Chains A and B, each alone.
Chain A
Amino acid sequence: MIPLSWFLAVSAILFVIGFFGVLSRRNAIAILMGIELMLNAVNINVLAFWRYTQPENPAGLVWAIIVITVAAAEAAVGLALFIALYRLRTTVNIDEVDLLKG
């Protein structure tokens, strides 16, 4: 059996990579990709604890499904925002979008 800590380690590394992507990228779509990586890391964590502590309780699976749903909603709205932004300013670089009045 694979030790629980291995899953947690992978999840932690994935989370940190996503975190770095969110903080360091200029392009808004790249930042969104970092957020998706972080959400994936969270899901690995949730499912690992579900599997290794109480596999008979579906709460872990429910949690994972809700996280995936939220990720989908967030991606849809976020990308719609970026496309609207691109139409308005022809850029999706976050550090170039610094005006209160477009």
Chain B
Amino acid sequence: MNPLDPRILGEWWNTFLRGLGLAEGWIVFINGLVVTLILLGFGLTSVIFLIWLERKFAGRIQDRLGPNRVGPYGLLQTVADALKLMTKEDITPDNAERVTYNLAPGLAVFAVLMLLVVIPFGPGLIGVDLNIGVLYIVAMGSIGIMAALMAGWASNNKYALLGGFRTVAQLLSYEIPMVLAMSVPVLFAGTMSMHGIVEKQARFQWFGLIMPAAFLLYIISALAENERTPFDLLEAESEIVAGYHIEYSGMKFAWFFLAFFLNTLILSAIAATLFLGGWQGPFVEQVPILGVFYFFIKTTAILLFFMWVRATFPRLRIDQMMALAWKVLVPMGLVLVLLAALVVKLPIPGLLQNLILFVTNIAILLFVLGAVGRHLRKEAERYKVRYQVSGIR
């Protein structure tokens, strides 16, 4: 008996509810309600911390201090910002399509919050262990696209519409490499259940270590799906002002902001689950509560990586963004899926399979990086010639 095992805690809770003399249906209902409230509370409060972390981290990278006025280390800065946003005037443009305009921010947050249900936070700590968990994640991601499209159209503003178009183009394009990258661990684990995938990664057989190319593919597409910096031309201030949420103010803008940061958190959590073994780690069998700790360590590491990229890289042009998706990532993803499917069927021991996958993945990665690098060098050469001809240095 281990008091720190969440599964035993759940058993105890169910026995407690049954002891109260409740019917089975009510127990299911109460459990659902409790889980929903916990996930909602976790999601919404974590965003406050996330925003602080992102600003502080970006500040340190850029040799600034970051927020440091409100509360210790500026921790309460986000709370102050939220209060400010709440007291701001809530504007709806005259020619906006009212219902759609007001629905879009809610839909954006809804699409992201629904994803929290299938994230395994620890052994037995999962909202619902759907047997189609990965497919569910992909499906919910596509609802977020609709929110951007609705906001862009309903605002009745040309920048908003342009931003909406760009968002749809980018999110649809990068959904494909993302699905391909996610189907590699699914193929390898033989299940679409998030919990099942984590359990297949015991003893450091993390899919991210075995298949680094798939992991990188996921990370790049996640950056694009999250509209993060190399791919943030959707809300590029210098081109289309603020993208599809240009007309939103006050709390409605805050909803979009919330959806953005929650999405970052959830995409990192999915990366940790699919590629870094989720809650797997040393001594998890003996002390299951350690799993939660491992999970958050891995999620935070990927989060910090996302923030690092955001604080470092310049923005892509729209044609570069599309070319990267369709000419580099999609073919690479197809090859990786094919490779994983072939290797899984090979009649050889698991360790050898892992080794073959690792070597071929590295080879694919080197090949792709080499090809992209060659192309970029050629393009740079062309630009140099053109500038010399026109006399611009």
* A–B touching in complex (CB under 8 Å): no
Residues of B within 8 A of A (CB): none
* A→B interface (CB under 8 Å): none
